[in-house]
Structure 1
């Protein structure tokens, strides 16, 4: 689906009410599917994927973490470490050092919501906004959001469209388009936590492959130093499949976008997920902990090993590192990102 086609569609009459925000805004719920039985459920709060059900041996498996109720999503942002389950992250995924950057000599200071740094867009990023549902078909949904000039300190009124499509070869395709009224910085990603054994399980026995031999070096506060390190003979070397790490929060540099950048495999369900993207990096994060404070969907007790994120994006803190790929979005230009998650039965 092309961005210029979006306005010609009508929202499906099959939308369900997921909940009502404190300001009385309704949050809708939509399910899309293909003919092979793969289906995703998306809510307008955060353009969030709440479930992703994949046909596997023994029946369908819900492979993403989430909650059953809107209030749980809202409350999750008050946890000691917000999980951002299934949400669209913006305006800037990852961290911006001290919430400061400069564009053409103009200094900007964004919200310091993670110590002295900006994380995932600030105190109220895109994952906490109610998006407008623009179109729904049997296998696709498009949502939009307008972020006002100066929101969380970012310049320009930003218009964003997101589409989720399930293809007949069992791919979840995520596309993003955006334009701004001023020069700004932009780094969007999708923040689902995957677990191919099912969302109530742990990820340690699943096999992780990352087609990258370079990572960003970071300081103890996870801010990039600017150096790029080789992964040879170190714990971050996943150039051949190995068990999922129990702790990782690392940006891997993508050398070739024409081939898959990562994969995850479960011997238990026989599922394999392959990730492709046009972005320069994929940030890998293992987590999902709800600290025993919020119950996951279907009564799940989410913990630090509940899921793994594949955050296809630009480098964190890129506006402060001129040698990193640029995240500058010029006034009048269009941002476009495409990432896909393909599922197959081995």
Structure 2
């Protein structure tokens, strides 16, 4: 049996209340969301008769989510990233023979949608679907927000199935030709969000990754993972440091698998996107406490950002990131949880 519940998460002020929405399935998995950033705040999974583990990082109140964007390196915990995930070199690209200059928010470059990104917007709850055990959140951008051409209408549908899959379904349509690259930025830790990820086993279904320059921007070249530190074609312990885009094997929709032997739990990530950007982090610089007073650090969680390639608009050999006026952008990612 599945259920949808709502509770008050926080009051921003007298006029604005933030609600938290909970999807629960017959196996007792509960996934929670808030409208700010269309953010996943928790994923609680039963690992024994009397214990649930919360497998994503996050905060206990809205102020901490908002203030986290002022940290030296904003974590974007659980948020939807947009309009373009990852870096765009020199915050510019050519579209229809016209140079577009975006806002630079990472030195001279543009990252994760800019200064006023989708992650910092209040999304609108469009629909509860008790039959599908799903909620849909929507966002409409201002014309030329962050200098992206057009106005974009985006929807993200979160569905929790009875076979323990969290399906994230993205759709978008633009009033003008533009570029788009959406992703979900949850930091996972199958051992629980109070620990580090280094004892978990990771497999990435990719034989190549993107070469990057000193600013971590793709050069346009592909590197074979063999004989490198980024060969996760077989299970290995999570690395202490990774911030790289892996080119997913064609014809295989599974992107990564993560295993916690401690909790006998496995997570598989499936996607229709060409890449997954993998990042270990979560550091809050001892400035903001995580959920349940957790002290998040550089190895607290691991992100699996299923997406198109970073800086794709500036590389003719990368998959196109262009969304034509009136056409529909469709992206789907599935997080599957299994007992082992």
Cα contact 1:32–1:39 (8 A) shared by 2: yes
Instruction: Give how far 1:220 is off.
Output: 1.1
Work out which of the residue numbers 44, 53, 56 in structure 2 matches 1:61. Answer: 53
Does residue 302 (structure 1) correspond to residue 293 (structure 2)? The answer is no
Q: How many residues align?
A: 335
Instruction: Give how far 1:48 is off.
Output: 0.2
1:270-326, Cα deviation, whole Å (9 max, x unpaired): 000001000000000000000000000101000000000000000000000011000
SS at match of 2:19: strand
Q: Which moved more, 1:225-234 or 1:20-29?
A: 20-29
Cα contact 1:257–1:276 (8 A) shared by 2: no
Cα contact 1:32–1:137 (8 A) shared by 2: no
**Counterparts in 2 of 1:176-187, with a 5 A limit?**
176-187=170-181
Instruction: Give how far 1:21 is off.
Output: 3.8
Instruction: Give how far 1:216 is off.
Output: 0.3
In the alignment, which residue of structure 2 is the partner of 1:79?
Answer: 71
Instruction: Give how far 1:159 is off.
Output: 0.1
Does residue 120 (structure 1) correspond to residue 112 (structure 2)? The answer is yes
Does residue 272 (structure 1) correspond to residue 266 (structure 2)? The answer is yes
List structure 1 runs of 4+ shifted beyond 4 angstroms.
none
Does residue 337 (structure 1) correspond to residue 331 (structure 2)? The answer is yes
Does residue 190 (structure 1) correspond to residue 170 (structure 2)? The answer is no
In the alignment, which residue of structure 2 is the partner of 1:107?
Answer: 99
Does residue 132 (structure 1) correspond to residue 124 (structure 2)? The answer is yes
Work out which of the residue numbers 321, 324, 336 in structure 2 matches 1:327. Answer: 321
Cα contact 1:158–1:180 (8 A) shared by 2: yes
Instruction: Give how far 1:334 is off.
Output: 0.0
Instruction: Give how far 1:20 is off.
Output: 3.6
Q: Which moved more, 1:53-62 or 1:224-233?
A: 53-62
SS at match of 2:70: coil
In the alignment, which residue of structure 1 is the partner of 2:10?
Answer: 19
Cα contact 2:4–2:22 (8 A) shared by 1: no
TM norm structure 2: 0.96
Does residue 97 (structure 1) correspond to residue 97 (structure 2)? The answer is no
Cα contact 2:4–2:23 (8 A) shared by 1: no
Work out which of the residue numbers 20, 35, 41 in structure 2 matches 1:29. Answer: 20
Instruction: Give how far 1:24 is off.
Output: 4.2
CA distance in structure 2 between the aligned counterparts of 1:328 and 1:33, rounded to whole angstroms: 36
Which stretches in structure 2 are left out of the alignment for 5+ residues?
Answer: none
1:53-77, Cα deviation, whole Å (9 max, x unpaired): 1121362110000000000000000
Cα contact 2:271–2:332 (8 A) shared by 1: yes
SS at match of 1:19: strand
In the alignment, which residue of structure 2 is the partner of 1:4?
Answer: none
Cα contact 2:253–2:272 (8 A) shared by 1: no
CA distance in structure 1 between the aligned counterparts of 2:308 and 2:30, rounded to whole angstroms: 28
CA distance in structure 2 between the aligned counterparts of 1:150 and 1:23, rounded to whole angstroms: 31
Cα contact 2:35–2:123 (8 A) shared by 1: yes
Alignment RMSD: 1.4
Cα contact 1:257–1:279 (8 A) shared by 2: no
Which stretches in structure 1 are left out of the alignment for 5+ residues?
Answer: 1-11
